[in-house]
Amino acid sequence: MIIATDDLEITCPTCKGERVIKDNKCDSCSGKGVILTSQGQTLLHFMKRHLEK
Amino acid sequence: MSTENEFFVIKAKENGVNVIGLTRGTDTRFHHSEKLDKGEVMIAQFTEHTSAVKVRGKAVIQTRHGEIATDKD
């Protein structure tokens, strides 16, 4: 199974991935520039859970 | 008006349709996204965390208020 980056996150449509709008942190994505998908969240939580141990 | 068990359906008409969930509360942020490829269907509900949904790309959305296609005026 191949997971593409697009399957994990998408570029924020408000700041277009720039993280900032007119030098202010983008509110829509909280300055991340991307929004995670459920697959992205799942993988992130799994990694976090097992890395902490 | 009961909103319990209410759901809506999104069917992608092209690859890479984005369904983005916006947070409920004072600040409206994008907290979640989902990528749909052509023909994929997503069935979703508004929840305590999600009060709005944004759909980008060619798709057909069915709600209890009717059906809407994103590519038609």
Cβ-defined contact of A13 to B54 (cutoff 8 Å): yes
Compute the distance between CA of residue B59 and CA of residue B69 in angstroms, rounded to an integer. Answer: 6
**Percent of chain A with pLDDT strictly greater than 70:** 98
> Which region among A1-5, B16-20, B46-50 has the lowest average model confidence (pLDDT)?
A1-5
Instruction: Report the predicted TM-score, pTM, of the whole model to 2 decimal places.
Output: 0.82
Quote the ipTM score.
0.73
Contact criterion met (CB below 8 Å) for B16 and A15: no
Question: pLDDT at residue B11 above 80?
Answer: yes
Dihedrals phi, psi of B69, to nearest 5 degrees: -105, 135
- pLDDT tens digits for range B24-42: 998 888 999 999 999 999 9
Per-residue pLDDT band for B2 (boundaries 50, 70, 90) equals: low
Inform me whether the C-beta atom of residue A16 falls under 8 Å from chain B C-beta atoms: no
- CA–CA min distance B25, chain A (Å): 13
Average pLDDT over residues B41-55: 94
